[in-house]
Structure 1
Amino acid sequence: MQIDHASIEAHLPPFIDDLMDDLAELVLADAKEFCPKGETGDLAESLRHEVNDGIFRVGSDLPRAEWVENGTPPHVIRPRNAKALFWPGAEHPYGQVNHPGTKAQPFLRPALWIKREAP
């Protein structure tokens, strides 16, 4: 018996992409469930998945998705389009603010790490 490698190589990638798409949808659903909803839920709604060449990706195109997932270190916030920062409730305008950073709220990694059974 001979194995037709060309036939296997021709038929395997679409099967793998279908399998990865099924897995990506499961991870996506869990990521949306685990994602902090905040006031609008827009971060969870921004989550998408894609499959290319047997590799799946789940994520968001919102820059803050990374900040929520990984947290942020303490940092200085300076005005960009004004001379000072001011917000409702502030005592006065500020030239800069020392932000204490934010605690990580992982939602993508926990969704990926869940043990799953093969279909």
Structure 2
Amino acid sequence: MVREVRCRRVYDPVSDDDGFRVLVDRIWPRGLTKEDANLHSWEKDVAPSHELRMWYGHKPERFDEFKRRYTAELGTATGRAGLARLRELAEQDTLTLLTASRDLERSQAAVLVELLREQG
């Protein structure tokens, strides 16, 4: 069973209750060293494709369609395998999905949190 799953910005300070810290962006966050990120894993396979990311452009009015397209991408073999890895981590401890996105509520991390909770 999935324990707590949440999302935060990768630039936020590390919290003692973060559990597993996993970056879910395809591109490494600007200005952040790997040491400062303090990650357990970087799961690029669950990040949106370059094409989808560029189309979305973090435009709020496109979020519903982004979510639909992104969920379809996660239905591929690679996406399913990435989700399975995240689910395994979430069954062991709190899982904190990290993204550089400024708008957490309309990010791929938020979509992943929702999917993992539904599947939990």
Q: TM-score range by the shorter chain?
A: under 0.3
For normalisation by structure 2, the TM-score amounts to 0.23
For normalisation by structure 1, the TM-score amounts to 0.23
Q: From the CA coordinates, give the structure whose radius of gyration is larger.
A: 1
Structure of higher RCO (CA pairs closer than 8 Å, 6+ residues apart): 2
